[in-house]
Amino acid sequence: MAVLTEAHGRVLVIRLDRDEKRNAMDHAMTLGLDAAMNRLEDEDQWWCGVLTGNGRAFSAGSDLADHARNSTERGGPYGVVRRERRKPLIAAVDGLAYGGGFEMVLACDLVVASRRARFALPEVKRGLLALYGGVFRGARALPLNLAREMALTGDPIDAERAHALGLVNRLCDDGAALELALEMAERICANSPVAVRESLHVINHSIETSDALAWKLSTEAAARVRASADSREGVDAFLGKRPPRWTGR
């Protein structure tokens, strides 16, 4: 299976396990992650979740070679990005989190990252748009001008800078992100699960009420980008492992 789960007391650890593709998300992984997130939300024994990636990456985002629908009714993109959650979800990042991978990180409530972690929205390099919340969630999690820089250049930032600017809650040595995330999850689970869920609901719902316009704008912009020749060229160039030849149309 490409998505694994394991129990750590009251904490459900969810692992993306497709290292040969840097945990790039295809349809099967989306269904697996959706099922794991359903377990976290629906089963009373879990009070907190940790999302991580096995191998070299947290996730490289969407698998551009897979054309199946990477969205679910309950969780939206990848089964997690637009999910309504009551239980905390911690991202444990020990490698790159690019594109949709970074957007999954931004959909989590807390972030633990190792020093080798990198975060990026490289969609513009492929003639695409970061349509899974990366553009506007990035602008909330980071200083506005840095969020603009990431969205417009596609260049990554390292974990130390992300930590200094508040995106990353805890910074750790390489290979220790999951361990530190579990420590944080256990501290959360030492508290009343009712009080934790309601606190998280107030914080997240106050933000989500302003997200409707942002999702609408993202959807409209993504449609214009997808209709462009540049979008087709960007994907073809990526799959063909060659530089893109942009036309601006």
Residues annotated as catalytic are: 103, 123
Contact 79, 34 (CB under 8 A): yes
Neighbours of 247 (CB within 10 A): 10
DSSP structure string for 44-57? TT--EEEEEESTTE
The CA-based dihedral angle spanning residues 117, 105, 61, 20, taken in that order and rounded to the nearest 10 degrees: 50
Q: Which residues pair with 57 in a beta bridge?
A: 96
Give residues with Cβ within 8 angstroms of 164, minimum separation 6: none
Give residues with Cβ within 8 angstroms of 42, minimum separation 6: none
DSSP 3-state assignment of 3?
Answer: strand
Contact 39, 87 (CB under 8 A): no
Q: How many residues does the chain have?
A: 249
Contact 197, 203 (CB under 8 A): no
